[in-house]
Copies of this chain bind each other. A is one copy, B any other.
Amino acid sequence: MNNLLIAQSGGPTSAINATIAGAISCAFSSKKVDHVYGAINGIQGVFEEKFVDLKEKLESEKDFRMLCQTPSAALGSCRFKLGDLKKDKEQFETIIKIFRKHDIKYFIYTGGNDSMDTVDKLSAYCKENGIDDIVVVGAPKTIDNDLTEIDHCPGFGSAAKYIATTFAELERDCHVYDTKAVTIVEVMGRNAGWLTAASALARVAGGKGPDLIYLCEPVFSIPKFLEDIKKKMEDHPDIIVAVSEGIKDENGVYISEHVQAGAKDAFGHSIISGAGSVLENIVRKELGCKVRSVELNLMQRCGAHVASGTDIEESRMLGMKACQCALDGETGVMAIMTRVSNTPYEVTFGSVPVSKVANKEKKVPMEWIHENGNDVKQELIDYMLPLIQGEVSVMYENGIPKHFYLY
């Protein structure tokens, strides 16, 4: 028996299920594979042998379509990092023992840079120990768009489309009054500003988009931020600001941390708040006008009802590619996309050694950010625009999108 096991890891996205849908359908149609299993809660579910037989779950093309429109990891996720190859050898031995028990020959792991570390270590362990009949392959995903070696990450396009759509709507909302008001919208991204940059895409259908955009790559200066707002207000009263959650001062300290460090509630407990909320309090104090902060929070990573058609299609293709790599015996690789042309937009699919990706981070290049640090350049918009094209024809039931359950 040659079985294939697939699992998901890391933070949820709107496209990660399209990736497993692609891999699973590829495995279903291959003569090399007998059973296709899903591990529940990532590598943790492997240790616990929490497996589901996916042929019993996914029976029709409609099931696959519904899985593709389901946000977040349908197989569950975990935040489990494998230990050291030498020191924690028994961890790896346990996994191989479980694989042998269930005749797992192919293992596909979808996730971000932490998850690629798992793929890297497990495939390295197999190589070092002469285990050549188990193939381990990575399939990328992360809304953060911070994986190296790949043009862009599956899941980013859908999050970007949600963010752009939401900023366009917030602009309409903030525009209705003619009084001075600042709306600060905090977007996810601790170390890379890609998602915050996507707010600029609110401008591509006729709207003005955010007035100011602060990514987490440049140093963030509070006095300059206040000056930027005052200057924009000379032109119009309703100001919309996009900020990365990870904006930092000149010492590399998160704005959210250092300003709010002493914040206590009525019981004397520390108050945890985001960069947007910190800036809201500063604007209220310094400028005295109406101000509010908005967090796009979890919604930006699970807003599958407005997923990007391009993203879902590419994610499914990448899943297929990852499965194909596995069936071809390519171990220790991650499936990738390369952009061969921007107009017309075209990508090709391939693979790279996962060691090139694991634990690395791709930030927004400084040359794509405006010198003033308060907006993005056209090159960045050109890079992102193709990724939000196309809409998914979502299946609704009783007025809300229908989701698919694998466990």
State the copy count for this chain: 2
Q: Which residues of chain B have C-beta atoms less than 8 A from A165's C-beta?
A: 305, 400-401
A289 at the interface (CB under 8 A from B): no
B79 near A176 with CB under 8 A, answer no
A76 CA to B73 CA in the complex, in Å?
Answer: 41
Q: Which residues of chain B have C-beta atoms less than 8 A from A264's C-beta?
A: 263-264
A34 CA to B305 CA in the complex, in Å?
Answer: 43
Q: Mark A154-193, 1 if CB is under 8 A from B, else 0.
A: 0000000100111011101111111000010000000000
**Which of A257-309 touch B at CB < 8 Å?**
259-267, 269, 271, 273, 277, 281, 284-285, 292, 294-299, 301-306, 308
A271 near B281 with CB under 8 A, answer yes
Q: Which residues of chain B have C-beta atoms less than 8 A from A391's C-beta?
A: 394, 396
B401 near A168 with CB under 8 A, answer yes
Interface bin, chain A = 35 or more
Q: Which residues of chain B have C-beta atoms less than 8 A from A88's C-beta?
A: none
A266 near B261 with CB under 8 A, answer yes
A70 near B172 with CB under 8 A, answer yes
Q: Which residues of chain B have C-beta atoms less than 8 A from A401's C-beta?
A: 165, 168-169, 205
- State the Cβ distance, A43 to closest chain B Cβ, in Å: 13
A78 at the interface (CB under 8 A from B): yes
A65 at the interface (CB under 8 A from B): no
A405 at the interface (CB under 8 A from B): yes
Q: Which residues of chain B have C-beta atoms less than 8 A from A259's C-beta?
A: 265-266
Q: A204-B399, A397-B206, A405-B206 are in contact. Are A173 and B266 (CB under 8 A)?
A: no
B79 near A177 with CB under 8 A, answer yes
Interface centre among A41, A74, A165 (most CB of B within 10 A): A165
- State the Cβ distance, A238 to closest chain B Cβ, in Å: 10
**Which of A294-343 touch B at CB < 8 Å?**
294-299, 301-306, 308
A175 near B72 with CB under 8 A, answer yes
- State the Cβ distance, A54 to closest chain B Cβ, in Å: 17
Q: Which residues of chain B have C-beta atoms less than 8 A from A292's C-beta?
A: 298
A71 at the interface (CB under 8 A from B): yes
**Residue from B44, B72, B297 in contact with A295 in the complex, judged by beta carbons closer than 8 Å:** B297
Q: Which residues of chain B have C-beta atoms less than 8 A from A79's C-beta?
A: 177
A83 at the interface (CB under 8 A from B): no
Q: Which residues of chain B have C-beta atoms less than 8 A from A204's C-beta?
A: 397-400
B399 near A12 with CB under 8 A, answer no
- State the Cβ distance, A277 to closest chain B Cβ, in Å: 8
Q: Which residues of chain B have C-beta atoms less than 8 A from A397's C-beta?
A: 204-206
A207 CA to B304 CA in the complex, in Å?
Answer: 15
A73 CA to B173 CA in the complex, in Å?
Answer: 8
B301 near A72 with CB under 8 A, answer no
* Other A-B pairs, 6, CB within 8 Å; known A72-B172, A265-B271: A41-B176, A76-B175, A164-B399, A261-B266, A262-B266, A388-B399
Q: Which 6 A/B pairs are nearest by Cβ-Cβ distance?
A: A262-B266, A388-B399, A204-B398, A205-B397, A72-B172, A77-B176
A: which residues have CB within 8 A of B? 8, 12, 41, 44, 70-74, 76-79, 161, 164-166, 168-170, 172-178, 183, 201-202, 204-207, 259-267, 269, 271, 273, 277, 281, 284-285, 292, 294-299, 301-306, 308, 385, 388-391, 394, 396-403, 405
